[in-house]
Structure 1
């Protein structure tokens, strides 16, 4: 039996995971959290615009794939990355290779990863932790705004497509991955790793939440998701390092903006104060 038969199956899994994550985090009926989100969408223009911003950047990321096709041929930087780090990813995959681990890793890569983002939005909204909700919106947008230019002008292919000694293990449990999931992410959209950067962003923001379960579960999940990008044969070590830096920076910038410490007016005031002192 193939666990992941289609994106429909994946979507169903995501819904169930979000349901249980919200349930364990809030100890409340998850439909209450969903109701709070819908209420905010219809009653708060600020809340709505931030959510639209996140949806918009995801649409732009999808558009990037179309723009990328029109830019071919482009220089391929994959060989340069390989010269820097060699067969690190291959070593991870060969050392840990196990059928059960392949299933769990795939589950975290395609299901838990998006579920963490969705559940974070619902949890922060229900707890009325608007600072974290807005920080999450800003951080997700920042992650994509920084990553997309690299995908366009610094293409790096996934490890399995470059090294014959590395396999795309996701295909073992999700045979239609290349036809159904691939349209969401280009084969050469490796540097930086968004799975890494967004996971790190979610983990950093979770530390600032008031939810003990979330403070522990999200960082642990983020660490395992980072492991999966190597084990499944997708990303290079360089992609991960860049993703960690981007994720931390995005979370900090998101927090500063949501707290009002990164507004243009604030920056202008600081500049004027320094000018007066000078």
Structure 2
């Protein structure tokens, strides 16, 4: 029996995993935490704008695929990457391949990756840690905005589709992966790895959290997700290296902007009201 029969199954696992993460992180009812998120959406225009901007940027990857189909530019840098890296990914698959690891890696790639993003947003909102919430929004936007031009003008195909000795192992667990997941990310949207960059950004931001479980768990999950991109036969080493750099830079810039915005907001609130100005 395949645990991932469809994206519907994957979505159910994501919801369950998010609830589990929230319980482990704050020992609170996930519905209470969800309620704090809904409250912020309806009571804070600033919160709503940031959340909406972040959700909007997630659709840009779909837009990129549509734009790419209409472009006459047809470069392919996969061969160049292969000549540099050789059998790096193939060796990792060969050394570590076992059924249990395939299941766990697929779970982290498909479920834990989005669950960490969702939990981060819910957790920072519930704790009213707006600096980290805004940093999450900015980091995700920066990751996509910087990655998408590379997908358009520096296309690199996934390893399994090019290397004769690499298999897309996720199909052993999620047989409909190509039909269900592929519309979310093109086959040549490889460099840089967004699974790597966003995971790294989440980790860099999480270590700033006051929550002990989250500040240690997210970096560990990020490291394992980086392993899965190789083990499952999806990304090249170059994709990972570029993703790590992008993730760190995006997170640091996002944290700086979020902190500056909070300081400006507090400064504005502290300004005395001068009726002569009106």
Same fold by TM-score, threshold 0.5 exceeded?
yes
Tell me the residue number matched to 1:198: 198
Measured in 2, the distance between the counterparts of 1:199 and 1:173 equals 22
> Quick check: 1:243 aligned with 2:253?
no
Query: Does structure 2 conserve the Cα–Cα contact (< 8 Å) formed by 1:22 and 1:119?
Result: yes
Tell me the residue number matched to 1:217: 217
Tell me the residue number matched to 2:56: 56
1:73 CA displacement: 5.2
Measured in 1, the distance between the counterparts of 2:182 and 2:37 equals 30
Deviation track 1:167-196 (CA, whole Å, cap 9, x = no partner) reads 000000100000001100000000000000
Tell me the residue number matched to 1:100: 100
> Quick check: 1:172 aligned with 2:172?
yes
Tell me the residue number matched to 1:124: 124
Measured in 1, the distance between the counterparts of 2:60 and 2:238 equals 24
TM-score normalised by length of structure 2? 0.93
Measured in 1, the distance between the counterparts of 2:69 and 2:58 equals 18
Tell me the residue number matched to 1:152: 152
1:79 CA displacement: 0.6
Measured in 2, the distance between the counterparts of 1:178 and 1:186 equals 10
Query: Does structure 1 conserve the Cα–Cα contact (< 8 Å) formed by 2:195 and 2:225?
Result: yes
Q: Secondary structure at the match of 2:260?
A: coil
1:217 CA displacement: 0.7
Q: Secondary structure at the match of 2:186?
A: coil
1:60 CA displacement: 1.3
Query: Does structure 1 conserve the Cα–Cα contact (< 8 Å) formed by 2:196 and 2:222?
Result: yes
Runs of 4+ that moved beyond 2 A: none
Measured in 1, the distance between the counterparts of 2:245 and 2:180 equals 30
Query: Does structure 1 conserve the Cα–Cα contact (< 8 Å) formed by 2:131 and 2:262?
Result: no
Deviation track 1:230-252 (CA, whole Å, cap 9, x = no partner) reads 00000000000000000000000
Q: Secondary structure at the match of 1:32?
A: helix
TM-score normalised by length of structure 1? 0.93
Tell me the residue number matched to 1:87: 87
1:72 CA displacement: 4.7
Ranges in structure 2 where 5+ consecutive residues have no aligned partner: 264-278
Deviation track 1:77-116 (CA, whole Å, cap 9, x = no partner) reads 0011111111101110110000010010000000000000
Q: After alignment, is 80-89 or 225-234 more displaced?
A: 80-89
- The alignment's C-alpha RMSD in Å is 1.4
Count residues in correspondence: 264
Measured in 2, the distance between the counterparts of 1:7 and 1:107 equals 12
Deviation track 1:149-176 (CA, whole Å, cap 9, x = no partner) reads 0000000000000011000000001000
Query: Does structure 2 conserve the Cα–Cα contact (< 8 Å) formed by 1:256 and 1:262?
Result: no
Query: Does structure 1 conserve the Cα–Cα contact (< 8 Å) formed by 2:61 and 2:148?
Result: yes
Measured in 2, the distance between the counterparts of 1:135 and 1:93 equals 35
1:125 CA displacement: 0.1
Q: Secondary structure at the match of 1:259?
A: helix
Tell me the residue number matched to 1:44: 44
Measured in 2, the distance between the counterparts of 1:79 and 1:128 equals 48
> Quick check: 1:111 aligned with 2:111?
yes
Tell me the residue number matched to 1:8: 8
1:62 CA displacement: 1.2
1:261 CA displacement: 7.3
